[in-house]
Amino acid sequence: MREAYNEVKIIKDENDVFLGISLGFDFCAEHERGIRGIQSTFRIPLSLNPNNFGLKGRTIKKTNDRLLKFFKFKKVINKKTYEFAFLTLDYLMMDVSKNKIPYVFENRLGSMVPNKWEEKPKEIITAWNENGFGIVVRGCDNINLLENLYTSFGIKDICIGMLSGKLFGNSLVIIIKSRIPKEIDEVIKTQDLENYKASKLKERWKKRLSKLKKDELGLSFGLSISFFDFQNNKNALELMKTKNTKHNYLIWVNLAGNIYGWYTVEEIKSWLKNKVKSLKEFKDE
């Protein structure tokens, strides 16, 4: 597991109702490989499709009492005793004593208590990878919230997945499904539809470029899709006009680090038809 430093937070709504925890992220390989192991453990669908967009495709279908552990503990730091709680899904924790936490957390407890180096001590520390996660919180209120989250696993009232937006941040989150309003679920469904369509477009264009432009592509290339404005057609039309394109998305192409940028469909087609020799002829404004 690798500790997360960005977007780590306890998620609450505007009425201060606890919804879940954002496990955050760091710029490391462990946080870029997906969560396939976690999904398999809780029997969450491994991929999203039109039949499971929204919270449905992120809801746990089973629990695992052997791998999922929660316990409270006390720690003396700077001659003062503090109360903590730990929730983890970790294969390495199966045979570990309940009063022992992994080094990745043990080493960071000092940053969670008042001291001369920390003006605002952390209330929560998280770490995760594709197979598991760990969460440590300090203080009675936060301990109760984490225990509440743990209890929700037992009744399969938990969603785990990558979510984005002001409420969740942009990272891996664990939320209590029954507390998420229907309108938020609808927003998530719209985001999923956008990502799904983008992934299908990406597959199509990647096959097309691989087949027709092997000479300039080299051994590898990256490709992404970005819609102008998936939820607002008026804004999308204005941006399409600005970019002089009939399509509501741009294509990011990175040709082995040599040529890269955002291009319109028309620019890509001109290149494929050899109307221009290279994407270098287009300038990304």
pLDDT higher than 60, residue 284: no
pLDDT-based confidence at residue 166 (cuts at 50, 70, 90): confident
Best-predicted range by mean pLDDT (150-154, 164-168, 244-248): 150-154
185 SS3 class? helix
Extended strands (E) in the chain: 2-3, 6-12, 18-25, 68-77, 80-89, 124-128, 133-138, 158-163, 171-176, 222-227, 249-255, 259-263
pLDDT higher than 50, residue 181: yes
Q: Say which residue, 275 or 74, is predicted with more confidence.
A: 74
Among the listed ranges 12-16, 166-170, 265-269, 275-279, which one has the minimum average pLDDT value?
A: 275-279
Looking up tokens 């899904």 gives: 89
pLDDT higher than 70, residue 159: yes
C-alpha triplet 230, 212, 278: angle, nearest 5°: 80
Q: Which amino acid is at 187?
A: V
pLDDT of residue 258: 65
pLDDT-based confidence at residue 185 (cuts at 50, 70, 90): very high
pLDDT higher than 90, residue 213: no
Contact 67, 125 (CB under 8 A): no
pLDDT-based confidence at residue 103 (cuts at 50, 70, 90): confident
Contact 117, 3 (CB under 8 A): no
pLDDT higher than 70, residue 216: no
pLDDT-based confidence at residue 33 (cuts at 50, 70, 90): confident
pLDDT higher than 50, residue 285: no
pLDDT of residue 218: 54
pTM: 0.81
pLDDT (average), residues 178-197: 93
C-alpha triplet 29, 31, 37: angle, nearest 5°: 105
Phi-psi label, residue 38: left if phi above 0, alpha if psi -120 to 50, beta otherwise? alpha
pLDDT of residue 41: 95
Pick from 20, 24, 41: which is nearest to 178 by CA?
A: 20
Q: Say which residue, 282 or 182, is predicted with more confidence.
A: 182
The percentage of residues in the chain with a pLDDT greater than 90, rounded to a whole number, is: 52
pLDDT of residue 186: 93
User: What rounded mean pLDDT belongs to the chain?
Assistant: 87
pLDDT (average), residues 72-78: 92
Tokens, residue 274: 């050899």
Best-predicted range by mean pLDDT (20-34, 97-111, 219-233, 260-274): 20-34
pLDDT (average), residues 208-225: 67
Q: Could you tell me how many residues make up the chain?
A: 285
End-to-end CA, the chain: 40
**What's the gap between Cα 145 and its chain centre?**
21
